[in-house]
Amino acid sequence: MNMKIKINENYKNLKKSYLFSEIAKRVKAYSEENPSAKIIRLGIGDVTLPLTRSVTEAMTKAVAEMGERETFHGYAPDNGYDFLREAISRHYKRFGVDIPVEEISVSDGAKSDVGNITELFGDNPVLIPDPVYPVYYDSNVMSGRRISFIRADETNGFLPMPEGLSGEGYIIYLCSPNNPTGAVYDHASLKRWVDFAVSTGSLILYDSAYEAYIHGNFPHTIYEIEGARACAIEICSFSKTAGFTGTRCSWTVVPSELSAGGMSLREMWERRQATKFNGVPYVVQRGAEAALSDTGYAECMELVGYYMKNAALIAGVLREKGIFFTGGTSSPYIWMRCPSGMDSWSFFDSLLHGIQVVGTPGAGFGECGEGYFRLTSFGSREATEEAVARLRGFLQ
Ligand code: MLT
C-alpha cells in the first residue's frame, strides 16, 4: 500500500546497507553456498574474550539484588547511577583530568550517543575525517546535514589537521585512536584542533572508544588538552575496554562551559536523554563500575594486552610480505594497503573466497579508504593464528 505519510527524504541519500550489515550479508551468502567452509571473522570489531571476573562478580551480586524486594531497582536515573558516574570521574584522574560527575551521562553505547547527539544541533557544516567510523557520516546524512570530508591518507599519516580550513561553527568529528586506521593524535596535534575549534566557535565530537589501546605518550582524553572544555564533547565506551559489546554501556561528557544559541549543551543533552532514553540496566552499570576499579581496570588491560598480541601477529605477516599498513600499536585495528592495487571490495571477496578470512573493505569507511582493508585483532588467539597462517600462504 502506498501510504500518504511523508518520509525523511534524507534516507534516500544513504547507502543501501550499513557497512557491517553488508559484510554480514555477504558472509552469510558465502557460508550458505559453502556450508563446510571454516570462516574466520576479522571484520566487525567485536570482542571475543569473556567479561572479566570483577565485572561478572559485580553483575552476579547485582542480579541477586534485583531478586530481592529491598534491593530491587526499577528505572535507572536518566544520566546513570551516581556510583558509575563517580567511577568514570575517578577514571579520568588516571589521566590527570578532572571531570565533575554532573558532566557525565551514562548510556547504552558510543554508537547510540554519536548518532543521537546530532539532534542537538541545527544546520551547521559538519567536518568528518575520511576514512572513519561510518556512523558519523550516516547519522548526519539521516538528518540532512552539510558534510565536508577532511582527508586522511598516507601523506598526513591518516591524521588530518585543521590548517587550510576556513569557516566557522563547524561540528567536527575526531576519533583517536582512529577507527579504522589506528592513527593517534599526539598532544600537539590535538591542541591544533582545539585551538581551531575555539577560534572558529566550532564543536569537536571526540570519540575515544579505543583510548585503552594507546601505547606511548598520547592523549587518552581530549580534556588533557588545554582549552578542550570550551569546545569538545567526549564519547567513550566500555565495549572495547571491558568487552561490553554485547552488554552495552558507554558515557558522554558534556562540559558545563559548552553553550550555543543561549542554551547549555549539557542541559540539552540531559533533556534529550530524559525524554528518549530510559537508562542502562542496574546490573550492567554495576558491572561497568567494577571494570573501572583498580582491580577491574587491571583485568581490562589484560584483555587489551591479549588483543594487542593478536595485532602483532597480523602485523608480523604483513611486514614479512612487505605490505604497507598502519595501526596495531595503539589500536586493535590493522589498516593495510590492498595488494596489487586491488580495490577494497575485490580484496574482501578474494580473501573470503580464497582463504575464508573476513575483513572490512576500506572503502566502507569513506572514499579515502578505497584501496585499503581493515583487519581486527579482536578474534581469539587460535582464530588469529589460523588467519595469519592462511594470509601467509595467500599473500604474495
Ligand atoms: C567496528 O568494527 O568498527 C566497530 O565494532 C563498530 C562499532 O563499534 O560499532
For ligand 1, say whether the CB of 24 is within 6 Å of any of its atoms: no
Using 50, 70 and 90 to split pLDDT, how confident is the model at 298?
Answer: very high
Q: Is the CB of 220 under 6 A from ligand 1?
A: no
Last residue of a domain, one of 292, 324, 350: 292
CA–CA gap between residue 113 and residue 250 (Å, rounded): 8
Same domain, 82 and 215: yes
Q: Is residue 98 part of a domain?
A: yes
User: b vs e for 346-358, b when ≥16 Cβ sit within 10 Å of the residue's Cβ?
Assistant: ebbeebbeebbbb
Residue 151 lies in a domain: yes
Mind listing the pLDDT tens digit for each residue in 130-139?
Answer: 999 999 999 9
What is the distance in A from the centroid of ligand 1 to the CA of 340?
27
Query: Which of 23, 46, 133 to mutate to test ligand 1, by most ligand atoms within 8 A of the CB atom?
Result: 133
- In terms of domains, do 348 and 248 share one? no
Same-domain check for residues 216 and 313: no
Last residue within a domain, chosen from 254, 277, 292: 292
In a domain, 59, yes or no: no
CATH of the domain at 204: 3.40.640.10
Q: pLDDT at residue 31 above 90?
A: yes
User: In the predicted model, what is the mean pLDDT of the chain?
Assistant: 97
What is the bridge-based pairing of β-strands 250-253 and 259-260? Answer: unpaired
Query: Strand ranges (DSSP E) for the chain?
Result: 40-41, 104-107, 125-130, 146-151, 171-175, 203-207, 232-237, 250-253, 259-260, 263-264, 325-327, 333-337, 357-358, 360-361, 372-376
The best mutation among 41, 44, 377 to test binding of ligand 1, ranked by most ligand atoms within 8 Å of the C-beta, falls on 44
Beta bridge partners of 107: 250
Q: How many angstroms is it from 363 CA to the middle of ligand 1? A: 15
Q: How many A from CA of 178 to the centre of ligand 1?
A: 11
- Is any atom of ligand 1 closer than 6 Å to the C-beta of 44? yes
CA distances from 306 to 55, 295, 297, 301 (A): 18, 17, 14, 9
Q: Whose CA is nearest to atom 5 of ligand 1?
A: 45
Measured distance CA(327)–CA(361) in Å, rounded: 15
From 240, 267, 292, give the residue that closes a domain: 292
Give the distance (Å) from ligand 1 centre to CA of residue 111: 8
Residue type, 172: I
**306 lies in which domain range?**
16-45+296-394
User: 92: which 3 cell numbers?
Assistant: 579520568
Q: How far is the CA of 174 from the centre of ligand 1 (A)?
A: 15
Q: Which residue's alpha carbon is nearest to atom 3 within ligand 1?
A: 45
User: At a CB cut-off of 8 Å and minimum separation 6, what does 338 contact?
Assistant: 344, 346, 347, 362, 371, 372, 373
Q: Compute the distance between CA of residue 320 and CA of residue 303 in angstroms, rounded to an integer.
A: 26
Distance (Å) from CA 263 to ligand 1 centroid: 32
State whether 173 and 240 are in the same domain.
Answer: yes
CA 46 to ligand 1: nearest atom:
5
Does one domain contain both 28 and 122?
no
| Percentage with pLDDT > 70 across the chain | 100
Do 282 and 318 reside in the same domain of the chain? no
Q: Would residue 54 count as lying in a domain?
A: no
Same domain, 280 and 302: no
Average pLDDT over residues 359-366: 96
Sheet of strand 372-376: strand arrangement: 325-327, 333-337, 372-376, 360-361
Instruction: For residue 240, give the ligand 1 atom closest to its CA.
Output: 8
Rounded to the nearest 10°, the torsion over CA 337, 338, 340, 341 is -80
d(CA 144, CA 123): 8
166 Cα to the center of ligand 1, angstroms: 31
Q: Please give the DSSP secondary-structure letter assigned to residue 52.
A: P
CA distance 268 to 272: 6
**Cα separation, 226 vs 224, whole angstroms:** 7
**Domain shared by 286 and 333, yes or no:** no
Question: Closest ligand 1 atom, CA of 237?
Answer: 8
Angstrom distance (rounded) from CA 132 to CA 78? 30
Is pLDDT at 1 greater than 90 in this prediction? no
Q: Is residue 11 part of a domain?
A: no
Q: Are residues 32 and 78 in the same domain?
A: no
Tell whether ligand 1 has an atom less than 6 A from the beta carbon of residue 111.
yes
Domain tally, the chain: 2
Assess whether 358 and 270 both reside in one domain: no
The string of pLDDT tens digits covering residues 66-99 is: 999 999 999 999 999 999 999 999 999 999 999 9
Residue nearest to atom 6 of ligand 1 (CA): 45
Residue 304 reports pLDDT greater than 90: yes
* Three-state helix/strand/coil letters over 239-279: HHHHCCCCCCCEEEECCCCCEECCEEHHHHHHHHHHHHCCC
Residue 16: pLDDT over 90: no
Q: Is residue 78 part of a domain?
A: yes
45 lines ligand 1 (CB under 6 A): yes
Identify the band that residue 2 occupies on the pLDDT scale cut at 50, 70 and 90.
Answer: confident
Asked if residue 113 and residue 40 are part of one domain, the reply reads: no
pLDDT digits (tens, 9 = 90+) for 149-183: 999 999 999 999 999 999 999 999 999 999 999 99
pLDDT surpassing 90 at residue 384: yes
Distance CA(80)–CA(305), nearest Å, equals 29
Atom of ligand 1 nearest to the CA of 179: 3
Residue 336, domain CATH: 3.90.1150.10
Stretch 247-257: mean pLDDT: 98
Q: Does residue 227 contact residue 102 with C-beta atoms inside 8 Å?
A: no
Confirm whether 319 is domain-assigned. yes
CA–centroid distance, 46 to ligand 1, in Å, is 7
Q: Cell digits for 81?
A: 547511577
Centre of ligand 1 to C-alpha 45, Å, is 5
Which of ligand 1's atoms lies nearest the C-alpha of 209?
8
Residue 173 near residue 128, CB atoms below 8 Å: yes
Q: Is residue 8 part of a domain?
A: no
pLDDT at 314: 98
147 and 193 fall within a common domain: yes
